[in-house]
Amino acid sequence: MNTPPSAVPEFTVARDLDAPPELVFKAWTDPQCLNRWWGPKGSECATQRLDLRPGGDFLYSFRGGQGPAMWGRFVYHEVEAPRRLVFVNSFSDENGGTTRHPMCATWPLEVRNTLELAGHGGRTLLTLSGGPHGATDEECRTFDGARASLRKGFGGALDELAALVEGGGDPAPREVSTSRVVDAPCERVYRAWIEPEHLARWWGPQDFRNTFEEHDPRPGGKWRFTMHGPDGKDYPNESVYVDLVDPGRVVIDHVSAPKFRMIGTFEDEGGKTRVNFRMIFKTRKDCDALREFVRLPNEQNLDRLEAELARMTP
């Protein structure tokens, strides 16, 4: 028995992008643009065909590391440039036949997505919502288990999209990143990143202290605080939360100078957690000026995070 569309559960992700809708729509519909951002972080997407019309499809392959290529497909239902796309996506074989991926066994076989692009003052509010397509009652019951994974997957892809359309090209020259495995589960790491009593104790370089004036950990919520240096100087900071997926990721825009997007992702490694810490600067000039300066403070930040995780109650 198929569940009526009105009863199908959905997930939603959103981004307020510093780019006009025309450019964002192009990034979703131009093969060369899609190859630069679509797919999991670190994978290489290759467009095999793109037929942008209702009933047409986008067939692509993506490869991560030395493993075999995987395949995916969009089938377009609505195309309204530059404000709306409705499409059904799924894993596929190289001929476009719908299939399941063994690592995503809890995901629906097909997901229907609606992309809305609303322009405002030269920017774009992007909203992507989706849920099981043609789903059975059982698929809908198990969808809650896949919802966070889908939000995390789409959220990671949208980070790359934002870096592409806002920075005018490849984000790599504007990025500083580091990674570390910490001895704590993902759930505890996530708490340390969003609960103010923990975050205030570890955020920042060695010997710095923090005073929080405002902290609202939800998409669109503000985080204002003053960082107190060991030399007695105060450093005001203002950020806005962009995306949170419990317990897999936190995305924050640092809106006071220097401007950058901070992306923290947390991956389970046998009860421990690999923390990936990325800073994508607004401009390459800012990144070049600060790249060497922020490397040591970022490592000290992770040192302090590890110490706080050890203090937290399991």
- Give the model's confidence band at 103: pLDDT under 50 very low, under 70 low, under 90 confident, else very high: low
Quote the pLDDT of residue 6.
Answer: 47
Q: Lowest-pLDDT range, 92-106, 169-183, 214-228, 293-307?
A: 92-106
Task: State residue 166's pLDDT score.
Answer: 87
Q: What mean pLDDT is predicted for residues 236-252? A: 93
Q: Above 70 in pLDDT, residue 214?
A: yes
The amino acid that residue 6 corresponds to is S
Question: pLDDT at residue 57 above 90?
Answer: yes
Q: Which fold has domain 5-167?
A: Alpha-D-Glucose-1,6-Bisphosphate; Chain A, domain 4 (3.30.530)
Torsion of CA 38, 42, 46, 50, to 10 degrees: -10
Of 59, 80, 81, nearest in space to 70 by CA: 59
Which ranges of 16-129 does DSSP label H, i.e. alpha helix?
21-29, 31-37
Residue ranges of the chain that CATH labels 3.30.530.20: 5-167, 172-311
Residue 53: other Cβ atoms inside 10 A: 8
Instruction: Give the C-alpha separation, 132 to 112, whole Å.
Output: 6
How many Cα atoms are found within 13 Å in the side-chain-facing hemisphere of 107? Answer: 21
What pLDDT, on a 0 to 100 scale, did the predictor assign at position 4?
46
Mean pLDDT of 188-211: 96
Of the pLDDT bands very low, low, confident and very high (cuts 50, 70, 90), residue 5 is: very low
- pLDDT band of residue 26 (cuts 50, 70, 90) is very high
pTM, full prediction:
0.75
pLDDT at 269 over 80: yes
The span from the CA of 66 to the CA of 45, in Å, is 14
Q: Which tokens hold the place of 16?
A: 């307020």
Q: Please state, rounded to an integer, the average pLDDT across all residues of the chain.
A: 89
Q: How confident is the model at residue 60 (pLDDT cuts 50, 70, 90)?
A: very high
Mean pLDDT of 17-30: 95
CA distance 138 to 132: 11
Angle, nearest 10°, between helix axes 186-194 and 284-311? 110
Report whether 135 contacts 106 (CB < 8 A).
no
Q: What pLDDT does residue 163 have?
A: 87
1 pLDDT more than 50: no
What DSSP character marks residue 136? B
Q: Enter the tokens of residue 3.
A: 């569940």
d(CA 93, CA 73) in angstroms, rounded, equals 9
65 has pLDDT over 70: no
Strand pairing report for 249-254 and 111-120: unpaired
- May I ask the CATH class of domain 172-311? alpha beta
